[in-house]
Structure 1
Amino acid sequence: MAILVVGGSGFVGSSLVNYLLSKNLKVFVYIHNSFGFLEGIEHNNLKYIKNFNELFFEKVEINTIYHAGSKLPSGAQTYEEFYKSNVELTLKIIDLAKKLNVKQFIYLSTGSIFSKLEDNTIFNEDMTPNPSNYYGLTKYISEKLLFIEFEKTDIQVSIIRFPSIFGKNDSEGIVKLFHNKSTNNENIELYSRGERYRNLIYIDSVVDILYKVYKNRQKLSKYEIFMAGSSNSLTLVDVAKEIIELTNSNSKIVLVDKFPPLDFDVIIDTTKAQKLLNFKPLKIEDGLKKYIEDMKNEKI
């Protein structure tokens, strides 16, 4: 039995691949453009492919596919760009999964399929998606395609919706921004006066839930959705204060009376994942401590 990871060279995918290898699992990684964060990584149980057709010549059965490939929002981008990278790629992987007759399809989705809640409640699996940008829209389209395309198959489908993910290899996000500011002793400006709550998840917790979905396939229903996140949410002020303290920075927090387009709290209920998967997410504060330590070690 083996696992295929699409998007395995990226920030999240590479961390997942290394974790799966640590569990002595055979892993195939689809490489699209470059080896990314897997550059120079070799392992007896790891094999790279650059074409899905290569899998049909392997003498091993693929039982699980992780779909971690995605186009992330960055600057001005068109709907066509997001559709091609997110939806069309998902359709190709769905077709591959059917041909390989896999047992499980695990899709990494996003909290961006949601926008502001009218009653200001907590985000959970029962909330109705209402994406407000092309990224969130195309990720939600992919979610629905998984339900439609696999409905008459025996493939178990799990969708995990993540908030902002942080770790030493992340390319953007408020943790990276605040860390860069604090290490340079620059002021940190916070829109909405820093009052908005955010749920940020450290990469170790991300990999943990992804692996547990794989390990618990037998007790999952045909189509599962999980909200993933840290065990708590913090205001932006508290996140900034924590990072400034952990980095011994002289940065000052500047509260700004400006309000971004997506001006709402992000509080996530992870009860389902905790009960069904025994998922034990870190607190944001603990994730930030690990992140700061990782960044210090990277400079050594």
Structure 2
Amino acid sequence: MSYSDVKFPKNSKFLITGGAGFIGSNLCEALLNLGYEVRCLDNLSNGHFSNIRPFINNERFEFINGDISNFEVCDHACEGVDYVLNQAAWGSVPRSIEMPRVYEENNIKGTLNMMDAAVKHKVKKFVYASSSSIYGDSPTLPKVEGNEGNVLSPYALTKKVNELYGKIYSDIYGLETVGMRYFNIFGRRQDPNGAYAAVIPKFVSALLNNESPKINGDGETSRDFTYIDNVIEANLKAAASDSSVTGKAYNIAVGGRVTLNDLYKEIAHLLGKDNIKPKYGPERAGDIKHSNADISNAQKDFGYQGEYDFKWGLGKAIDWYKENLK
């Protein structure tokens, strides 16, 4: 594991918001396995208690059922914490277009509450989830920090505001923030259910049920699909980094590009379902056509490697779904 050698002071305590979600629960598990104390804050609106059930009886794990849009909850959760990994947010571009006020309340106000509480409790490092959607209508590939376009959805706007607050809280209040611009993360515990589920678990779930998944558009949309273990590495290395990264946001990906058509073929092949053909539907509003990251800044500034490539990660993810979607 590329993050197993990341060291924090003994008895370090981590707060992971959104800790019962896909990314958050994987961070909880990794930090517990490394021997640290973990406090998970989640209101279970998007996360699932089943994701953290294996940790509940661990004496180094604590679960708080609470909402980051409530400052008192954030204040309480930050007590005695050394590092915050802020993953709590509402995802999905199309859903944000339908309910922008919900995204404002959770993604902007909630993150601001967490930063404010982290300042109050003198947290050492505040690592937070941003998104590749921040690049908006910029046609440039690969995507490079500092060359962003106009955002295309309320979701993307909330992430842009998070980054602006991250810089402000670093510059004015001395909170060491680092933003993680995630590029289409996938892997174990990613939920295949619901209208806004991510594409990989939706494809896998449909094929396991011998159904034809729907592809939005012509299938030539491309993404920099990034396996979950790369995200764990990025968060831990960012949390352990020196102050030179403070106030910045970084691309977290593997630097590849896979079309939805090729993704579908690969998943169908791995599941032995090549005979099932996908259905095609309209493009989704607010979606970026192509996404591919330049990860050189994260590599240079805090030693991120992103060593788990797309095909290796996809095989691992499919193994997990075959075991857990019975």
Q: TM-score, normalised by structure 2?
A: 0.82
CA distance in 2, matches of 1:182, 1:8: 29
State how far apart, in whole Å, the 2-side matches of 1:209 and 1:142 are: 18
Question: Could you list the per-position Cα deviations for residues 84-111 of structure 1 after superposition, in whole angstroms to 9, with x for gaps in the alignment?
Answer: 1111111211110111011111011111
Superposed CA RMSD in Å reads 2.4
What is the Cα deviation at residue 179 of structure 1? 1.1
Q: Give the deviation of 1:22 after TM superposition.
A: 0.9
CA contact (8 A) 2:83 2:124 kept: yes
**TM-aligned CA deviation for residue 244 of structure 1:** 0.8
The aligned residue for residue 203 of structure 2 is 178
1:103 aligned residue (103, 111, 124): 124
Which is worse superposed, 249-258 or 170-179?
249-258
Which one of the candidate residues 60, 63, 66 is aligned to 1:45?
Answer: 60
- What is residue 66 of structure 1 aligned with on the other side? 85
Q: CA deviation at 1:185?
A: 3.3
- Return the alpha-carbon distance in structure 1 between the equivalents of residues 43 and 75 of structure 2: 13
Where does residue 291 of structure 1 map in the other structure? 317
Q: State the identity as a percent.
A: 23
Helix, strand or coil for the counterpart of 1:195?
coil
What corresponds to 2:17 in structure 1?
6
1: distance between equivalents of 2:209 and 2:183?
27
Give the direction of change, closer, same or farther, for the CA distance of 1:40–1:293 in structure 2 (3 Å limit): closer
Paired with 1:165 and 1:152, the residues of 2 have a C-alpha distance of 32
Note the C-alpha offset of 1:243: 0.4
Alignment of 1:20-99 (within 5 A): 20-33=31-44, 36=49, 37-41=51-55, 42-50=57-65, 51-54=73-76, 61-73=80-92, 75=95, 77-99=98-120
* Aligned position for 1:241: 265
Q: List per-residue Cα deviations over 1:216-240 (Å, max 9, x = no partner).
A: x226332221101134211222111
Pairwise CA distance, 1:38: 1.1
Provide Cα deviations, 1:12-64, integer angstroms capped at 9, x if missing partner: 111101101111111222233476221352212112235344457x6xx4221
- Note the residue ranges of structure 1 that are not aligned, 5 or more in a row: none
Distance 1:11 1:255, change over 3 A: closer
The whole-number CA distance in structure 2 between the counterparts of 1:256 and 1:263 is: 17
Shift of 1:122: 1.5
Q: Of 10, 15, 18, which aligns to 2:26?
A: 15
- Which deviates the most, 35-44 or 161-170? 35-44
Distance 1:104-1:129 versus aligned 2 partners, 3 A rule: farther
Give the distance between the partners of 2:118 and 2:188, measured in 1 at CA: 32
Deviation readout 1:185-237 (Å, 9 max, x if unpaired): 3344544432222111121211121111122x226332221101134211222
* Cross-structure match for 2:8: none
- Paired with 1:289 and 1:159, the residues of 2 have a C-alpha distance of 28
